[in-house]
Chains A and B, each alone.
Chain A
Amino acid sequence: MKILVSIKRVVDYQIRPRPAQDGLDVELTNVKMSINPFDENAVEGAVRLKEAGVASEVVVVAVGTAANQDVLRHALAMGADRAILIETPAVVQPLTAAKYLQAIVQREAPDLVLTGKQAIDDDAAETAQMLAGLLNWPQAMFASSIQLADGRATVVREIDGGQETLSLQLPAVISVDLRLNEPRFIKLPALMMAKKKPIETLPAADFSVSAPVLTVLQIAEPPARKPGKILNNVAELVAALRAEKVLP
């Protein structure tokens, strides 16, 4: 069983993003970048399946600029066997990413594709569903538990107000929630070992991918809330909330 894990390089979750000078992107100069946290859960999930003897190989793939080497190394240090970078001149939108991933899936023929439920930069939560559609594979989104047996995946997925359990025929695409697992802390020997693992770089031009895109007109901070008031005691707070008519 081969598992392909798709990962994305994003602004670290602890950084507060600011619009760039041109107002068409967020400021990325000298900003700490990391593997998308949900994708890290996907890598962890795949590596654990390998450690449990269910999977035989874990391949990570990123679609993006050459800078993605660092997050691919991170995934290799977590335990992935090899990595593929589809090198694009800039960050791509979900439908474009899904089409590149479709091409890699056709080459690698994995039994399962895992990825995070959304990337924390664009918050689109689209790529996995799009990939499943393009491949005509079954899908389970926002997974918090995955069990593989007899050519099927039993997946518990987070839905509004609860959970749902699905049984998918493999091959399938599964996107994972933070609740799937707690990604491991990478130790130094693992980092050293990861340096010896291969990263294959494929230029975007090798693929005949074209997809419609959204045009960004503006990237801005949302309108600020009106300045708040620091009150002195509970009585003042209750009076203020009464005045706002928000108490039952």
Chain B
Amino acid sequence: MSVLVIAELDSHGIKAATRSAICAASQLGEDVHLLVTGNDVAGIALEATKIAGVSKVLHADALAYAHGLAENLAPLLVQLAVNYSALVAAATSFGKNVLPRAAALLDVAMVSEVIQIINATTFVRPMYAGNINATVVAPAGLRILTIRPTVFEAVAATGGAAALETLTATAESGQTTWLSRDLVQLDRPELATARVVISGGRSLGSAEGFKSTLTPLADVLGAAIGATRAAVDAGMAPNDSQVGQTGTVVAPELYMAFGVSGAAQHVGGIKDSKVIVAVNIDADAPIFQVADYGLVADLFTVIPELEAALKAE
């Protein structure tokens, strides 16, 4: 048997998170196949045959698959599942939407947001905003997994030579109509994938203060800007900048927290960062317990100094 990875597409092709899912799937010890679905995506499917570690690409093309609706994709997964020992996708808003629906139809207890594969049936997944890790065993037979893309390194987009098979599309459910998608136009890196993230808490004082204090430093560092839930709730930062369990889980090379106290739900969302820096005037702030480097100082003094020091180099 083989393992089937469900690809997620954007306007540029297969998303990097899918290549992380391929990395995770290959750890199950079987051949990895990749399912590419969409409307008029033959070119992307052909390109996908070059992805390292994939032995076969399955291509299903239909208008019904254009926007990744779970109602239309789940029946296709159910049909394909008989040939596979596992279905794997990245735990993105796409994977989290589609796979549980398919799992219910297949009567499988799925494992979501896997962060470690111990063997073909034993997995580690985070709970309680990453404050707890659970090691779980899935029943034998078909396994359905979503994997956290930030902990599995994406396989190379080239170097492979997979076979290509075209599938007959399943019928459209007709229940749901996709109307529109509004992606935020970013003038800086996306939070979930940025190499450097700087974030602020409520002590930045106001929406204006938040922006004017953090933006210049973010520009120097080429960083994404994040915020605590408290800062978002106080209207100081936009919703989509929230870092933590209820927002975005990040794992950058460098995470710098300014005036962040370190609530459990925030810390859970940053602890896979390579280096964490905390700047807080309160020496007892819990954020210092997870920080690699701490400065007990006023962020309003530190940020301009830091910016000047980085610019000087």
Contact = CB atoms under 8 A, between A and B. Distances in A.
Contacts of A78: none
B135 A218 contact: yes
A114 B180 CA distance: 22
A139 B71 contact: yes
A162 B306 contact: no
A161 interface: yes
A56 interface: no
A234 B102 contact: no
A80 interface: no
A129 B97 contact: yes
Interface residues of A, number: 80
A98 B102 CA distance: 13
Contacts of B132: 17, 19, 26, 219-222
B212 interface: no
B221 A126 contact: no
Given A162-B182, A228-B294, A222 B126 contact: yes
A212 B245 CA distance: 27
B53 interface: no
Contact of B104 (A26, A130, A140): A130
Interface stretch (B32-40, B80-88, B159-167, B270-278): B270-278
A162 B254 contact: no
Contacts of B177: 166-168
Interface stretch (A60-68, A81-89, A117-125, A199-207): A117-125
Interface string A15-45: 0110100000010000000000100000000
Contact of B96 (A125, A138, A219, A232): A125
B1 interface: no
Given A139-B70, A217-B135, A160 B92 contact: yes
A52 interface: no
Interface in B84-136: 92-94, 96-105, 107-113, 122, 126-136
Interface string A222-238: 10011011111111011
Contacts, number: 247
Contact of A158 (B93, B179, B290): B93
A136 B249 CA distance: 31
B280 to A, nearest CB: 11
A167 B67 CA distance: 13
Nearest to A169: B175
A247 interface: yes
Interface in B264-313: 264-265, 271, 274-278, 288-296, 302, 305-306, 309-310, 313
8 contacts: A17-B128, A120-B128, A123-B112, A162-B181, A169-B175, A172-B175, A228-B294, A232-B295
Interface of A: 11, 13, 16-17, 19, 26, 37, 93-95, 98, 120-134, 137-142, 144, 154, 157-169, 172, 178-179, 211-222, 225-226, 228-235, 237-238, 240-241, 244, 246-248
Interface of B: 67, 69-71, 74, 92-94, 96-105, 107-113, 122, 126-139, 173-184, 186, 190, 192, 195-196, 221-222, 239-240, 245-246, 253-254, 264-265, 271, 274-278, 288-296, 302, 305-306, 309-310, 313
Given A211-B107, A213-B109, 19 more contacts: A11-B128, A120-B128, A129-B96, A129-B98, A129-B101, A132-B70, A133-B74, A133-B104, A134-B105, A142-B93, A166-B69, A212-B108, A216-B136, A217-B135, A228-B278, A231-B294, A234-B306, A246-B253, A247-B221
